[in-house]
Amino acid sequence: MEKYRSFHRKKLLVLATLYMIVIVGLCVRLGYVMIFEGEYYEEKAIELHERERSIKAARGKILDVNGEVLADNKTVCTISVIHSQLKDKEKVIQILHEELGIEKEILRKKVEKISAREKIASNVEKSIGDKIRNYDLDGVKVDEDFKRNYPYNTFASKVLGFTGGDNQGIIGLEVKYEAYLKGTNGMILTMTDAKGIELQEKGERRQEAVPGNNLRISIDKNIQMYAQQLAEKVRQKKNADRVEMIVMKPSNGEILAMVNVPEFNLNEPYTIDTDDVLYVAENEADQTQLLNKMWRNTCINDTYEPGSIFKVFTASAAFESHKVTFEDQFHCGGACVVEDRRIRCHKVGGHGSETFLDGLKNSCNPVFIQVGARLGVDDFYKYLNQFGLMKKTGIDLPGEAATIMHKEENVGAVELATMSFGQSFQVTPIQMATTVCTVINGGKRITPHFAVDVEDSNGKIIKEFCYSSKQVLSEDTSEKMRFGLEQVVENGGGNKGFIEGYRIGGKTATSQTLPRGSGKYISSFIGFAPADNPQVLAMVIIHKPEGMYYGGLIAAPVIKELFENILPYLGIEKTE
């Protein structure tokens, strides 16, 4: 019996010892947690009872070169409900239905959904948001937010671009300079009880949003507006598909205006203008295609056959390689036979005997075919590369297209002949404008651009943008070309661009659209002033005009009207 009792005492002692070890271990662990990990678990407990709401940062403004606001923000509201805090769901549904115009069944699904926070509507006008806030509905939250606002609607729409639902850039400068414009979001932290109900007495913690920086660009609001008006006027007058205009400084590549009409309303970027597209989308794929077409900046995203404006390049290359002078004699009989191809001049009867200067003024194809032959394929392509035509311009907009050119090894006499006067290849409008700037500014290849600097909300400059340039042409050739292109406007095919008292240089072009024989044309003119010291260059391209289509007759007058208005504005005075 005594042995049996001794066994049980030992058993109890072992169990007691084990219990003591467990208890001591728990005490040690509890003490360790309280002393060494207390802050960690306290933070976890707070996180469990904290509810986080985002404060969106105000996006930086886009300013024109004179500080005029082209893109800013307006205050809007986001309406949401917190399920655990709702006391009268039917009242909430009724009031939100009346104020927001949302169907009751849709509201009911959102209100009755069990979630920490359910968004009802965003981008609500502030006046409506304030009205809903004043009802003081339990469980209904009204948070102020920002929506991008464009004060001039269609102004430079395909350059500025627009933002999405989260205020992120979608196209244009908005997406290109997203990193500078976007800012940093803040947050509001509120405490809740175990049921998820906010504890008013605990207040809230806020981490304020940091607004984005402002972007100042080279566009001049007044020049852009006037250029858009002119482009739209000629588009309607000629019932053209579209019209593009570029106004820039030849010396440094700053773009004062870039127009693509029809433009679209930046404040309603997903609304398709059926008058312009002449089609109503029936499915999502069609809708996307039409929107992409509407948003497309054809000055940089699309290529076209430049026609006779490209003769500026051929002439420059010939002067640079000493293959021609203004006094060289040529003959135009109305056509030129190259191998088995008869290539006509625009003057059916021909120009007869003429100097190279006459050929430039007359925009004579046979003259430039002969000059192209003097250059030869090797030199022609040498200068294409030297002038930068085989590379993208590097403009600070997304989606720039590249030049579409024959491979050098595939170029024969016929291809060289057609290329010499601007046919059988394609370039972007910005590439053509940049190349002419190179020819007239002393031979310096510049980078076309918009961004000038980045400023903080106080107007302090925090970054200035710099752009590359390279000497690719001699000053002597540039001087000859300025003289020759001034003669084109004074006494040649560009005379409709002449302005009394101003020295204007320029070149016209008329090219066929593809496929050949369609009867559709592209009319264009590029001009600059003053001719002896170019301070501004402007280019207009009119796609598929009806009726008269020659660039010298319908495009040159557009640039003339533009210059008549902007030259005095830019401080360029008439000469005596």
Query: Which residues are marked as active site?
Result: 308
Are 229 and 565 within 8 A, CB to CB? no
Are 527 and 504 within 8 A, CB to CB? yes
Are 116 and 81 within 8 A, CB to CB? no
How far, rounded to the nearest angstrom, does the alpha carbon of residue 211 sit from its chain's CA centroid? 22
**Separation in Å, CA 337 to CA 314, 330, 341, 342, 509:** 19, 15, 6, 4, 22
| Tokens 């009346």 belong to residue | 98
- What would the two tokens of residue 362 be? 């007359």
Distance from C-alpha of 269 to C-alpha of 262, rounded to nearest angstrom? 13
Are 212 and 173 within 8 A, CB to CB? no
Are 345 and 332 within 8 A, CB to CB? yes
**Separation in Å, CA 418 to CA 292, 344, 422, 498, 541:** 33, 11, 7, 29, 20
Q: What are phi and psi of 183, to 5 degrees?
A: 75, -175
- Tell me which residue of 249, 227, 156, 217 sits closest to 436, measured CA to CA: 249
Phi-psi region of 296 (alpha: psi -120 to 50; beta: other; left: phi over 0): beta
Are 215 and 177 within 8 A, CB to CB? yes
Distance from C-alpha of 75 to C-alpha of 125, rounded to nearest angstrom? 8
Buried b (16+ CB within 10 A) or exposed e, 385-398: ebbbbeeebebbbe
Are 493 and 311 within 8 A, CB to CB? no
Which residues have a Cβ under 8 Å from the Cβ of 228 and sit 6 or more positions away? 154, 155, 156, 245, 257, 259, 261, 263
User: DSSP 3-state assignment of 113?
Assistant: coil
Phi-psi region of 308 (alpha: psi -120 to 50; beta: other; left: phi over 0): alpha
